[in-house]
Structure formats: structure tokens, C-alpha cells
Chain A
């Protein structure tokens, strides 16, 4: 899997966003708001060579791309499955471009706790009505105590796909964004176990994104979650983000440190392997000082958490960090 960052701008203002500072810098540096259609076309051909059949469009807000409808048509003409990560405030053109695609052809992962205006909430409702069967709800945990009740209600009201893609608000390495502190994880873990009762009751599956650690769940909570089809996975298996001008990122959270400039001699998979290899030395540690002695980490049941959190714990010496 690989993400294409086709827009450097967004019409929401989420304080937990881990893409915004990077994209602002890119926009200021290159004066480019969007990836050009030519560049998108060339990456799709690169996907063909790498046997990648899913085009995952990200931003910023990808649907703001002025050629969004053409990109969708191009992806469809090339028999690609399309995944879009959006805040749901879609223009009529974007809605029309996606409306005729079946859920087999397209998945819309919608950030349901995006910080948007009242007017944008009404626009999003229109999106939910027209594209609901393709929408997978995304929710980012920004507080240790949270509720999925209204999200579950929205899923039922608009007949969305019965999946919640659950993320943790994670820090961007060397930048500032709103992120959960590792000390808050156990409370969030307990809260999640409690929320899972209602989700399970309505046949809604909660799928964890990256950053979860095993020790954030007590044994009791872990069993509750297991019973409710929550498939805990703790690994750092990055989906490479491709930005304009050939920048390949390990992930947004580590965009300051782990990136490669595209070179024709390397394929996508090779670039990804290189980026993963560069992060390997850091995996010796974890998000807590106790991770080094933890049996979950030793057995591979836990990877030690988000690398960005791990890197933030380290101190540089001398000329490090340049």
C-alpha cells in the first residue's frame, strides 16, 4: 500500500493533525498546493510496476484537488481500487465523481472528529447521504476519556459501513500537535474496552490504526476487546506517503527525519524497505522506559509503540539532530 498526497491544503483545522505542519512547509517552500496530474499519472504507472492496485488519496484534503474528478476517472480507467481519506466536506464535483463507484471500487475513510464549521457539518451530511455505503468512519482518540456513542449513532443513521478505523493522536517528531501522552494510554485503553460493548451490539467492528501498545489494556479489558472482535495489532508497518516532487515519507509523524527522494533506479518497495531499515536501530527502545524489560515487547506481542513517540524520548548529543 502507498498513499499519494495530492493536496497540501485542507479545509478543516484539526489540532491533532500530524500532516498539517509538514504540508504547510511544503506549500510555503514549493508554492505548490496540489500534486500535478502528470505527477499523479507517473506514480500510478509506478504502482503498476510494483503490483499495487489500490490508489490511496490523502492530503490535506484530497477532494480539494482541482482535477479530483479526472483523477478518479483515470484511476477507474486503470482498474485501480480507490481509497480516499477525507473530512467529508465534499464539493458537488467530488461527490458526483464518487457517487457512481461501487463499494467494491472505492472506500471513503472519513475523519469523523475533524474540526469543521457548522456549514461544513451540513455539507458532510450531504456526503453521508449520497456516499454512505462507501464510507468507513475514522475516529482519532485525542482524550483519554472519549465516547463513540454519537459516531455509532451516525453509522446507524446513515447506514455507513459497520467499521470504525480507530487511531490515537500521535506526536509529530520534533513538531507540535495535540497528542495523547503515553501515560494516558491505560485510561484510553480501559475506555475503549467499555465502548466496545455498544459497538459490538450493533455489529460495528473497531479496527485499530498504528500506535496501540499491549500494556495499555489490562488483562480484563484485553479479554473484553477480544470478545468484541477488536483485533489488536502492534507493529510499525508504514504505508509510504508520496508527496509532490518525489518525496517518499516513512509516515507523516516521522516526516522530518525519515524520507527519501525518489530515484528511478529504485522501486516503491525498495524505497519502503530502505526507510524501514533506517528506523530499525530505534526499535530497541519503546514509548516507556519499561519497554526494554517488557515481556510483551520481547515476545513480539508489542512493538513498543509509535516510533515518533520513541524518538521524542531520545536526547541528541553534539551535532546530532542536524
Chain B
């Protein structure tokens, strides 16, 4: 992942299920079924494309402007940070 200094935390496992991406956080003994836009973002982050491309593709897939898409991505990352799925590094 390479977006705004966020990185995945350790001990995460994920799988594509029919109803969305399932993530298991082994360290905290938690699992999450990601919502549809979360699943889209997760898949984009996994393929390691750069942040501009992620914003562009994510916004296109969920049919919003790039500004709206960026806001949506930040809100998802913030939610994931609270759930220990990602961490924010200091610049």
C-alpha cells in the first residue's frame, strides 16, 4: 500500500468472498467483512498502484468526482485505522 503514509498492520489475512472482502486481524482476534466501497479500495491497495491512480480508479468505480473519492478514501482509512487494519506513519 502506498497512500498518504498509511500502511497495513501486521498479521492481517484477507480473502475475496462473494459478499465482499473478508479481513482477519490475527493479532487482535478480529475479523471484518468490508462494505462494497471498502472492498473496492482494499483490492486497489493490494495491487500496489500509486495514490493518484487509486483515487482515479476508486472514484470512477463508485461514480463520484475525484475530490469526493479522495474524501471517501480518507474516511475509510480513518475507520480502518480505528480498527487496527492500517496505521499512519509520521513524515
- Which residues of A are interface residues toward B (Cβ below 8 A)? 277-278, 280-282, 284-285, 289-293, 311, 313-321
Please judge, given known A-B contacts A281-B30, A292-B33, whether A320 and B13 are in contact too, CB under 8 Å: yes
- Which residues of B are interface residues toward A (Cβ below 8 A)? 7-20, 22, 24-26, 29-31, 33, 46
Most central of B11, B13, B20, B25 by chain A CB within 10 Å = B13
Q: Is the interface of B mostly helix, strand, loop or mixed?
A: strand
Cα distance, A319 to B8, chains bound together (Å): 10
Q: Which residues on B sit within 8 Å (CB–CB) of A321?
A: 13
Task: Report the tally of A-B residue pairs with Cβ distances under 8 A.
Answer: 64
Please judge, given known A-B contacts A281-B29, A318-B8, A320-B26, whether A292 and B13 are in contact too, CB under 8 Å: no
3 smallest A-B Cβ distances: which pairs?
A281-B31, A314-B13, A292-B19
**Judging by beta carbons under 8 Å apart, are B24 and A281 in contact?**
yes
Q: Which residues on A sit within 8 Å (CB–CB) of B33?
A: 284, 292
**Judging by beta carbons under 8 Å apart, are A292 and B18 in contact?**
yes
B7: nearest chain-A partner, CB-CB? A318
**Judging by beta carbons under 8 Å apart, are B31 and A290 in contact?**
no
Please judge, given known A-B contacts A280-B29, A281-B25, whether A318 and B14 are in contact too, CB under 8 Å: no
List 21 contacting pairs A-B, 8 Å CB cutoff, sorted by A. A277-B29, A281-B25, A281-B30, A282-B31, A284-B22, A285-B22, A290-B17, A291-B17, A292-B22, A311-B13, A314-B14, A314-B24, A315-B13, A315-B14, A316-B13, A317-B8, A317-B12, A317-B46, A318-B7, A318-B9, A320-B11
Please judge, given known A-B contacts A317-B8, A317-B14, A320-B12, whether A293 and B19 are in contact too, CB under 8 Å: yes
**Judging by beta carbons under 8 Å apart, are A284 and B29 in contact?**
no
A257: nearest chain-B partner, CB-CB? B26
Q: Nearest Cβ distance between residue B10 and chain A, in whole angstroms?
A: 4
Cα distance, A231 to B25, chains bound together (Å): 35
Cα distance, A319 to B12, chains bound together (Å): 8
**Judging by beta carbons under 8 Å apart, are B25 and A319 in contact?**
no
